Amino acid sequence: MRPSQWYEAQDMFGDHVTLTQLRPHHAEGVLAASDDDSVFEWMSFDRPTTLTEAEAVVARYLATPGANAWAQVDTKSGDLAGITTFYDISPERRSLIIGGTWLGERFQRTGINTESKLLLLSHAFETLGAVRVAWETDERNTQSQTAIERLGATKEGLLRKHKPRKDGSYRTTVLYSVVDDEWPQVRDSLRTALSR
Each residue's pLDDT tens digit, 124-133? 999 999 999 9
What domains are there in the chain, each with its CATH number? 3-195 (3.40.630.30)
- Report percent pLDDT > 70 for the chain: 99
For residue 21, pLDDT over 70 is answered with: yes
In this predicted structure, the answer to whether residue 1 has a pLDDT above a threshold of 80 is no
Asked whether the whole model's pTM tops 0.85, one would answer yes
Residue closest to 151 by CA, chosen among 108, 186, 111: 186
> How big is the chain, counted in residues?
196
163 to each of 18, 39, 134, 172, 173, how far by Cα in Å?
30, 19, 16, 7, 8
| pLDDT band for position 109 (cuts 50, 70, 90) | confident
